[in-house]
Amino acid sequence: MRCARATCVAAYTALVLGGFLSAAAAAEKRIVVDSAGRRIEVPGKIARVFVAGGPASVFIYTLAPDKLLGWNRPLTPEERAYIPSRYAKLPTLGRLTGRGNTANVEVVLASRPDVIIDYGSINSTYVSLADRVQQQTGVPYLLFDGSLSQIPLAYITAGETLGIGERAKELARYAEGLLAEIDERVARVPVEKRPLVYYARGPRGLQTGLKGSINVESLERIGARNVAAERMGPGGIVTISPEQLLAWNPEVVITIESDFFTGARSDDVWKSVKAVRDGRFYVAPTEPFPWLDFPPSVNRLIGLKWLGRILYPQRFPEDLREETNRFYALFYHQALDKRQLDTLLGSSGQARP
């Protein structure tokens, strides 16, 4: 087929230019190996991140808030007070992981993400979900190990992936230093001095985590004896009976449920537990994200210092206010005022009973 010279030149130029652009786009792509060992091709430049669930939302917010497309659930007014308004106002997009997941393929595609990131436990269920969503959407889906010991590496890997290596190194150094400090102090606590602890979840405090559950990983890291793990072994989240609780009779009870904490003091069952009778019943700080769990993400780092203070006050005697302010400024992008510190820790700056 013949064509006019000008038309042919234009067509040839468009073809060649299109080929160059395609080659350039392909060259920009790179391979990232995630925590599950999956080799995922990602864009050369990543500006928009869809987070798969609660732990990932905290992880990406601390690392790259300007790349975060939205939260997995609405933030409460109390939580918003600890987060700069430009990030607190991000939309609610739902979640892809967990029971009652609220995001779907249409939501993901409408958000136009460059990548999807999940952070937390790595197992066959999460790998299968990642593979399926990636196939359905065509969006690269990366998994990062959310265990405490892997936080520094997760930051470094995610930071390199997102093109913010220096920021990632700063957070990784903090996490590495804090974990090393915790391990060193706890190693000097004799086994017989480590208390029998019950972690109370849910409105009645009768949900708890067994050995190996990411929800009680902070207790394990701080060297506490998890009474549920000692009695029931490994597993995930379980519901126990009041009779089991009374039989275990823990020395310390810890919760993040403020309503339960308030009501338990007048509950006949809980009033009979040694920890409550002895005044060793504690509610952890919860804004903007609980310090121990829900979600079990990098928010647990500062919670380790808090646990050390209430479990081993002689090994962790320092005022937590300075460390808390440093953590919030570095990880949550907003320093705290005196009122906020008092809300989190009480005026003593030690640990709020």
Q: How big is the CA angle at 167 (ends 292 and 343), to the nearest 5 degrees?
A: 35
Q: What is the pLDDT of residues 138-149, one digit of tens each?
A: 999 999 999 999
Among 90-104, 114-128, 295-309, whose mean pLDDT is lowest? 90-104
Q: Which CATH superfamily is domain 24-178 in?
A: Nitrogenase molybdenum iron protein domain (3.40.50.1980)
Q: Enter the tokens of residue 105.
A: 């393929």
Average pLDDT, the chain: 92
Cis peptide bond prior to 295, omega within 30° of 0? yes
* Banded pLDDT at 98 (limits 50, 70, 90): confident
Among 22-31, 96-105, 286-295, 327-336, whose mean pLDDT is lowest? 22-31
DSSP alpha helices (H): ranges in 81-237? Answer: 85-88, 105-111, 124-137, 151-162, 165-187, 217-221, 227-232
Q: Answer whether 24-178 and 191-345 agree in fold.
A: yes
Q: Enter the tokens of residue 20.
A: 């160059």
Determine the pLDDT at residue 148: 98
Domain boundary assignment for the chain = 24-178, 191-345
Cα–Cα distance between 307 and 125 in angstroms, integer? Answer: 31
Say whether pLDDT at 26 is over 50.
no
Determine the pLDDT at residue 103: 87
Residue type, 256: I
Determine the pLDDT at residue 340: 97
In sequence order, the β-bridge partners of residue 116 are 50, 141
Residue for token pair 């190194």: 169
Q: What is the average per-residue pLDDT within 250-272? A: 96
Determine the pLDDT at residue 15: 36
Say whether pLDDT at 24 is over 70.
no
Tell me which of 2.30.42.10, 1.20.1070.10, 3.40.50.1100, 3.40.50.1980 is the CATH number of domain 191-345.
3.40.50.1980
Residue pair 43/29 in contact (Cβ under 8 Å)? The answer is yes
Determine the pLDDT at residue 347: 52
Q: What is the average per-residue pLDDT within 234-240? A: 97
Cα–Cα distance between 293 and 303 in angstroms, integer? Answer: 9
Say whether pLDDT at 184 is over 50.
yes
Q: What is the DSSP letter of 192?
A: G
Q: Enter the tokens of residue 338.
A: 């005196």
SS3 of residue 33 by DSSP: strand
Determine the pLDDT at residue 21: 37
CA separation (Å) from 332 to 144, 152, 178, 287, 345? 20, 17, 17, 11, 17
Cis peptide bond prior to 288, omega within 30° of 0? yes
Cα–Cα distance between 31 and 118 in angstroms, integer? Answer: 17
Determine the pLDDT at residue 17: 40
Residue pair 351/281 in contact (Cβ under 8 Å)? The answer is no
Determine the pLDDT at residue 346: 85
Cα–Cα distance between 296 and 307 in angstroms, integer? Answer: 15
